[in-house]
Chain A
Amino acid sequence: MTKFMKKHKSIFSAALADAMPIILAYFPIAMTFGVVATANAMPPWLTIFISICVYAGGAQFMMIPLIISGVTPLSVIITVMLVNLRHFLYGTTLGPRFSLWPEWKKWIASFGLTDEVFAVTSSKDHVEPITPSYQFLFVFSCYASWVAGTIVGVLVDRAVPTSLSGILSYALPALFIALLFIGKRTMPYLVAAAFGALCALAATWLHMGSMGIIAGTLIGATVGAVINQLWISSIHRVNHT
C-alpha cells in the first residue's frame, strides 16, 4: 500500500468512526420525522425535501404544526429562524479551527454544522488540525443518514393504517415535551417555557395564533434570560455571605 493510500484510509476510518454515533442517532430520529410529518398530512415529497434543505432536527419538527395549521409564511419563517439562530454561535466558536482552510471549502463543510456535529467537532482536541477531507466525510455521512432515515420514515408511514397514524401523531407533542424536559431544566429555562406557553395560549385564544409563537418566543426567552441573570447574582450573593 502506498503512503498516499494509507493516509487516506486512516482519514476515512477516523471520519467514519467519529460520525458513527451521530449516524446511528440520526437515522431513527429522521425516521420519526418522516412518520410524524406524513401522519400529520404532510406530502411525502415535501417531508423529504425539508430534510434535504433544512437539515436541523428541532426546526423541522416545529415546522410540522406551523405548516399544517396554516400560519402565515412570514410567521413560520421568523419562528423557525429564531430557533436556528443558535447556529451562528457554533460557527463563531469553531471559526478559528478552520482559519487555514480555503474560503470555499468552509462554505461546503458548514452546510452540515448541526448541533451534534458541532458538539463532536468542538470536543476534538486542538492538537490535530481538521483537514477538509476528514470534515467533508464526517459531515456528509451524518447528512446521508438524516436524509435516508426520512425517506424510510415516509415509506413506513404509507404502510400504516389511518387509525394508527392518528395515534402516532402524538409523537409530536411527546417529542416537544421530551426536548423540553430532558434538556437543561433549570428554573429559568422552565420559566422561559412557561411564558412562551402562556403567550401562545393567549394569542390562540384571541385568534392571533401565528403571532403567539413569535411573541411567546421573544417574551419567554427574555424573561428566562433576565431571571437567569438575577438567579446567578443571587447565588453569588448567598455564597459570599
Chain B
Amino acid sequence: MPFDALIETLVIGLGTYLLRAGSLSLGSRITWPVWLKNWLPFVTPAVLGALIGPLLFMPNGQTLSIWHNATLLAAVPTIITAWLSRHLLITVTVGIVSFAVITHSW
C-alpha cells in the first residue's frame, strides 16, 4: 500500500497543481465549451454517490446488506441532520454519535 499510495499522491498532487496553474496561466486566452461547463458541476455529486453507495450498502466490501447494518442505519440521522442543519461539523458529529450508539446497543 505505501509505495502505490506515494506514487498516487505525487501524481494527484502534480496533476491538481497543473490544473490550477495551467488554467490560471491560460486564463482569458481560452473559453471552455459550454457542455463541459454544464457537465463539471455534476461530477462532485456523482463521485460522492459512487463513494457513499458501497460504503453504506456493502460495509464488508462484498455482500449487499440492508438489515442489521449499523453503517446504513446511522446514515439516516446523518442525512436528516445534513438536510436540516446544512452544517458540516454538526452533521459529522451526529453521524459518529449515532454510529457509536447503534454499535453499542447491538
* Inter-chain contact B25/A171, CB cutoff 8 Å: no
Give Cα A46–Cα B106 distance, bound, in whole angstroms.
Answer: 35
Dominant SS at the A interface?
Answer: helix
By a CB distance below 8 angstroms, the chain B residues around A172 are 55
How many residues on A have C-beta within 8 angstroms of the other chain's C-beta atoms?
98
For A224, give its contact among B2, B13, B32, B42 (CB under 8 Å). Answer: B42
Residue from the list B2, B8, B53, B87 in contact with A76, Cβ < 8 A: B8
One digit per residue, 1 when the CB lies within 8 angstroms of any chain B CB and 0 when it does not, for chain A 208-227 equals 01001100111111101100
CB-CB under 8 A for A228 and B42, given A88-B22, A91-B20: yes
Interface size, B (range): 35 or more
Q: Which residues does chain B contribute within 8 Å of A171, judged by CB atoms?
A: 92, 95-96
Interface residues of A in 42-60 (CB under 8 A from B): 42-43, 46, 49-50, 52-56, 58-59
Q: In whole angstroms, what is the CA distance A174 to B99 when docked?
A: 10
Contact of A161 with B by CB under 8 A: no
Bound Cα distance from A209 to B49, whole angstroms? 14
Within 8 A of A (CB), among B75-97: 75, 78-79, 82-83, 85-89, 91-92, 94-96
B42 touches A173 (CB 8 A): no
**Chain B positions near chain A (C-beta within 8 angstroms):** 1-2, 4-17, 19-32, 35, 37-58, 61, 64, 71, 74-75, 78-79, 82-83, 85-89, 91-92, 94-96, 99-100, 103
* 26 A-B pairs (CB sep. < 8 Å): A46-B5, A63-B8, A80-B8, A81-B12, A83-B43, A89-B32, A91-B24, A92-B32, A106-B21, A106-B24, A167-B100, A171-B92, A173-B56, A174-B78, A175-B88, A175-B92, A177-B75, A182-B88, A189-B45, A193-B48, A200-B53, A213-B50, A217-B47, A224-B45, A225-B35, A229-B38
